[in-house]
Amino acid sequence: MEKKEASVYLAPHQDDELTNLGVDLCREAAGGKEVWCLLFTDGSSSFVRTFLANGEPCPLHEGRHVYPMDRAEFARARDREFLSSLGAMGVMPERAVILPGRAQDGMLSKERAKELLLAFLAELPGRKVTLKSVMPMRSVRQNPDHTALALAAEEVFREGKAATLEFFYEMIHEEYDVPEKEGLIRLTPSEKEKKRLLKAARAYGTWNPEEGYFAIGYHSVKDEFDAFIRDPHALVRREA
């Protein structure tokens, strides 16, 4: 019997599933594929946590920011943005997975990432799995959680525990002319896909503190979001 196919998107932090993997994720989810997205850290080390409590005016919002949150509360607020982004891209709620035992933001090791990924795959038997990850970067400085997760995905693939591995080039490095760019294919969304992606981007820009929406993604990497909204695309390479 043919094995059922499943695509497993690996997000180091809340928002990577959109800005780095979004065009492909959106396409596969809408195309009826079995799409999973796993979150490997809590995203709690962002400067936005203190920024939201600094009592200062914000260039993006009216009034002052007086929203103190501890790490766990802040992580939950980021998770709400993540889940809402995945919902907008058409991922079924039960397949948007905040991994139990995820690492604290900035503390993900390759070993931990691999352990979390293998534990997830063990509960997904009988599937032909394609892993979708950000690419490990050697030529430019990369967020260490991103490197750890990318190298873990590569090991899992090399050990034959996933059928296919696709690496996505990170948008923040797009200006650089580096060897990692070799063989990349550019994915451009259709108008319909674009609508879903913009809706997903809005999940990270929603400012509604009473309801627990603090536009954390947008406060954190405004320029990246603006660039993505102007020209949503992805750059991908299938590993052999």
Nearer to Zn ion, 53 or 58 (CB): 58
Nearer to Zn ion, 13 or 114 (CB): 13
61 binds Zn ion (CB under 5 A): yes
**What are the beta bridge partners of residue 6?**
34, 129
Residue with token string 């090399």:
158
Nearer to Zn ion, 12 or 22 (CB): 12
How near is the Cβ of 191 to Zn ion at its closest, in Å? 28
Among 12, 22, 189, 232, binds Zn ion (CB under 5 A): 12
CB 72 within 8 A of CB 183: no
173 binds Zn ion (CB under 5 A): no
Pick the piece of the chain touching Zn ion (CB under 5 A) from 21-29, 52-60, 94-102, 194-202: 52-60
How near is the Cβ of 168 to Zn ion at its closest, in Å? 12
Residue with token string 């299938």:
238
53 binds Zn ion (CB under 5 A): no
Angstrom distance (rounded) from CA 54 to CA 170? 31
Per-residue b/e over 161-171, b at no fewer than 16 CB within 10 Å? ebeebbbbbbb
CB 119 within 8 A of CB 83: no
Pick the piece of the chain touching Zn ion (CB under 5 A) from 4-12, 67-75, 175-183, 192-200: 4-12
Give the DSSP letter string of 27-91.
HHHHTT-EEEEEEEE--TT-THHHHTTS--B-SSSSSB------HHHHHHHHHHHHHHHHHHTT-
Nearer to Zn ion, 94 or 223 (CB): 223
58 binds Zn ion (CB under 5 A): yes
CB 80 within 8 A of CB 93: no
How near is the Cβ of 227 to Zn ion at its closest, in Å? 15
Residue with token string 């580096």:
178
43 binds Zn ion (CB under 5 A): no
60 binds Zn ion (CB under 5 A): yes
Pick the piece of the chain touching Zn ion (CB under 5 A) from 61-69, 90-98, 163-171, 198-206: 61-69
16 binds Zn ion (CB under 5 A): yes
- Whole-Å CA distances, 97 to 108, 115, 158, 222: 17, 15, 24, 25
78 binds Zn ion (CB under 5 A): no
How near is the Cβ of 225 to Zn ion at its closest, in Å? 13
**Binding site residues, Zn ion, CB under 5 A:** 12-13, 16, 58, 60-61
